[in-house]
Amino acid sequence: MTTLHTIRAISNQALRTKCTYLVAMPRDVKSELTKVDLPPSLRFDFPTAIVVVSCATGRNQRPNLIAVGAISHACIDPPMLGIAIGHTRYTYQVIAHSDSFVVNVPSKDQVEIVDYCGSVSGRKIDKFKACGLTPFASTKISSLGILEFPLNIECTIRKSVDLGSHSFYFGEIVAVHCDESILDDKGTIDKEKLEPMCAFLESYWSLREPVLRFGSHRKIRKAKRSYSKAKLGITY
Ligand SMILES: Cc1cc2nc3c(=O)[nH]c(=O)nc-3n(C[C@H](O)[C@H](O)[C@H](O)COP(=O)(O)O)c2cc1C
């Protein structure tokens, strides 16, 4: 048998035994999975933010609204976020001819509006009118924002990637507007006043309480170290 035949034989054997890794595993890697396999599909199995995106093809065009859970931070400098829009959505026809969109962040008492924007198509309906919402002129882009939503993020589309059923739009954040009522006395967003939501397992959720502040592990480790030192009577 040639080397090539040997490699092929090993590969076929690996496929038969469903083992796709021919390389040796490090000793601390568990090779037998004790987990239950679920079908590889994208669902709300983990929480995502939930927002309403508004966009129009131009300043005088009828703006449309869509609920979006597929939203992500994308880049810090320049500041960018990304949203995925399905090709069957009316929004896709609008955004494909637009150079901008607004991410409108709702608070939890606006959940019914969010759900409406996520269930009804804007092909024949003006969702702004149907929900009694007020469009407001953005400062840097032609797409309009939702006045009643507490946080509005103006984005210029920098890049789009066709992924299959959805296209992913990278939007550079060019302006952010927020209601004064959700700010604390230092001028930063107060999480208890904004009360944003996330989408998780077929439901909208409010965020109840913070579990840990970012970067806290350093303080915790430091506190643990001084506790152990104190226990051992070390004073330096
Ligand atoms: C919670 C929730 C999240 C959604 N997230 C997305 C999303 O990220 N991208 C998308 O294309 N559609 C998403 N949808 C579906 C659209 O919001 C929905 O199909 C909407 O009616 C499309 O409106 P349009 O036809 O006016 O664009 C979501 C729906 C819900 C209820």
Q: What is the pLDDT of residue 164?
A: 97
User: Domain range for residue 102?
Assistant: 48-206
Verify whether ligand 1 is closer than 6 Å to residue 67 (CB atom): yes
Q: How confident is the model at residue 218 (pLDDT cuts 50, 70, 90)?
A: confident
Buried b vs exposed e over 181-207: b needs ≥16 C-beta within 10 Å? ebeeeeeebeeeebbbbbbeeeebeee
Q: Is residue 5 part of a domain?
A: no
Q: How confident is the model at residue 25 (pLDDT cuts 50, 70, 90)?
A: confident
Amino acid at 200: F
Average confidence score pLDDT of the chain? 88
SS3 content of the chain, % helix, strand, coil (to 5): 25, 30, 45
Identify the residue with better confidence: 60 or 9. 60
Q: Which candidate, 63, 224, 57, 41, places its Cα nearest to that of 152?
A: 63
Pocket test for ligand 1, best of 44, 54, 65, 68 (most atoms within 8 A of CB): 68
Atom of ligand 1 nearest to the CA of 119: 21
Atom of ligand 1 nearest to the CA of 122: 26
- Reported in sequence order, the residue ranges of the chain that DSSP labels E, i.e. its strands, are 48-49, 51-55, 64-68, 71-75, 80-86, 100-105, 135-136, 145-146, 151-162, 166-178, 197-200, 203-206
Verify whether ligand 1 is closer than 6 Å to residue 116 (CB atom): no
Q: Is residue 116 part of a domain?
A: yes
Q: Is residue 169 part of a domain?
A: yes
Q: Is residue 25 part of a domain?
A: no
Q: Which candidate, 66, 75, 49, places its Cα nearest to that of 158?
A: 75
Q: What is the pLDDT of residue 60?
A: 66
The structural domain count of the chain equals: 1
- Output the six-digit token pair for 207: 């965020």
Q: Is residue 181 part of a domain?
A: yes
Q: How confident is the model at residue 231 (pLDDT cuts 50, 70, 90)?
A: confident
The pLDDT tens digits of the residues spanning 107-154 come to 999 999 999 999 999 999 999 999 999 999 999 999 999 999 999 999
CATH for 128: 2.30.110.10
Q: What is the pLDDT of residue 6?
A: 54
Any bridge partners for residue 136, and if so which? 145
Q: How confident is the model at residue 58 (pLDDT cuts 50, 70, 90)?
A: confident
Mean pLDDT across 37-47: 89
Please determine, for residue 14, whether its predicted confidence score (pLDDT) is greater than 70: no
Q: Is residue 134 part of a domain?
A: yes
Q: Is residue 32 part of a domain?
A: no
Q: Is residue 225 part of a domain?
A: no
pTM here is: 0.85
In the chain, what percentage of residues exceed pLDDT 70?
A: 89
